[in-house]
Amino acid sequence: MKITFLGAARQVTGSMHLVTLQSGYNILIDCGMDYELKRNPTFKEDIFPFNPADIDTVILTHAHIDHSGNLPSIVYQGFKGNIICTGATSELTEYLLYDSANIQLMEYRKALGNAKKTKRNNVPKPLYMSSHVKDCVDRFTIAKFNVPFTINKEVKVTLIEAGHLLGAASVKMEVVENGITKTIGFTGDLGRSNSKLINDTTILTGIDTLVSESTYGGRKHKITRPAEEEMLHYITTTCIDIRGRLVIPAFSVGRTQSIVFTIIQLKRQGLIPNVKIFVDSPLAIRSTDVYEKHKELLNPEAFAFQKQYGSLLEHEDIEYLTEFKHHEALMYYTDPCVIISAAGMVEGGRIQEHITNNIENPFSTILISGFCAEGTFGHRLLNGQSTISIKNKVKRVFAKIASTDIFSSHPDCDEVFNYINQTHQNGCKNVFLVHGDETQMTAMRDRLALAGIKVEMPEQGQVFEL
């Protein structure tokens, strides 16, 4: 069999790896949107370097758009097989894909409005529409964690808890060719050992080959205190001491739920009375229901909490805003409060209005809660500029800008190293690094080399015989 690296090769986004068996059977692991390509002006609609009709099965590791975002495209371009994933992943992915179709349509409408009449034909069209999402969702086939799923007589797969997001899986694929069994593992995106809501990462064992993420291959998380203490600090210093507003840009799926759960734990202990919390993201609200529903995937602490209080993410002081008029009304709310809204890197979404509304207010704190790619608004905010342009206006930065790694859903360099080292000690012979920019990946490769572990950093399109 052979493996072809078609995405997230020496970059973070666009995860897509193709396993081709000797018989010609093709299995695609993830089919994610490539943001780096999208930013490139030569971006084309022809996004697959293969004929989608030639792919027999897709395995989806988790819901995030950089892993799932091109699934509607592959389906409408001719893929006829099943998309195997966990139940929670299927539900979260459905919400994320509809949201993605919606965002693309809005961006298209805006670009059409801005383009001169004669240039309108050149405006890039959305990659897919809501109807394509429906056709894609119909192909989801649910597999349970730790229960081997037979694809055909040559290959079976087992999904293992990756600990990165509700339902997120690592994939163990066992292939029998000429009477020999070969085992290949894909980490998907990994989690950390102290996740607020879900179980810790389970390390893949009994594999010959590992394809590992390396998002933070060269970076150590700055974590000095537990999540509750970190949140208590920011809420106390902003909302209680100076009666200001704490604005937290956060991804709607995963990050928002971890932050809300931490705040509710503080509320239940009576540590932050009289501070209202607003969650201003319709996608976050829909995803929150999936977390409440899939009790079986919660870690023991979250499971016990839900049992004790009847709910994980509900509290009388927390308001979830779905309607746009409530979002608008929040702009005029003057009491101390916490506002959690998307998008996490402040590239679009309702958070932009909250940033615009608070950035010149010295009593506000903007707390960046996750990775912000270079070139994004979140990244510029963290650079410490004294003025910043948002929504076509230049604003002075009077608000306090802070950041925390405590809610990061990816392992840092020590954790990635330990993972790979452990699989190596368990007999894994080949390691490929994906899902990391070149600097992060190179740092991990060099560190592993010192420990006697040789790894590959495949280029886009590179093929390896296994």
Q: How far apart are CA 236 and CA 242, in angstroms?
A: 9
Closest approach, Cβ 183 to Zn ion, in A, equals 24
Show the tokens assigned to 434.
Answer: 């994906």
Name which of 218 and 254 has its Cβ closer to Zn ion.
254
Name which of 34 and 189 has its Cβ closer to Zn ion.
189
Q: How far apart are CA 415 and CA 218, in angstroms?
A: 11
Name which of 64 and 447 has its Cβ closer to Zn ion.
64
Closest approach, Cβ 12 to Zn ion, in A, equals 10
The site map against Zn ion for 77-96 (x = CB under 5 A) is --------------------
DSSP letter string, 48-67 = -SS-GGG--EEE---S-HHH
Name which of 163 and 458 has its Cβ closer to Zn ion.
163
Q: Can you tell me which residue has the tokens 């969702």? A: 137
Q: Give pairs for 113-117: CB < 8 Å, separation 24+.
A: none
Spatial contact of 312 and 305, defined as CB atoms under 8 Å apart: yes
Contacts with Zn ion by CB under 5 A: the residue count is 2
Name the one range near Zn ion by CB under 5 A: 61-69, 340-348, 351-359, 421-429: 61-69
64 binding Zn ion? (CB under 5 A) = yes
Closest approach, Cβ 29 to Zn ion, in A, equals 14
Spatial contact of 409 and 255, defined as CB atoms under 8 Å apart: yes
Q: How far apart are CA 437 and CA 9, in angstroms?
A: 8
| Subset of residues 177 to 216 that bind Zn ion, contact rule: CB under 5 A | 189
Name the one range near Zn ion by CB under 5 A: 9-17, 63-71, 201-209, 262-270: 63-71
Closest approach, Cβ 92 to Zn ion, in A, equals 11
Spatial contact of 409 and 164, defined as CB atoms under 8 Å apart: yes
Q: How far apart are CA 65 and CA 289, in angstroms?
A: 19
Name which of 62 and 132 has its Cβ closer to Zn ion.
62
Closest approach, Cβ 190 to Zn ion, in A, equals 9
Residue 59 buriedness (CB in 10 A; 0-12 / 13-18 / 19+): buried
* Residue 259, amino acid: I
Closest approach, Cβ 63 to Zn ion, in A, equals 8
The site map against Zn ion for 347-366 (x = CB under 5 A) is --------------------
Residues near Zn ion (CB under 5 A) are: 64, 189
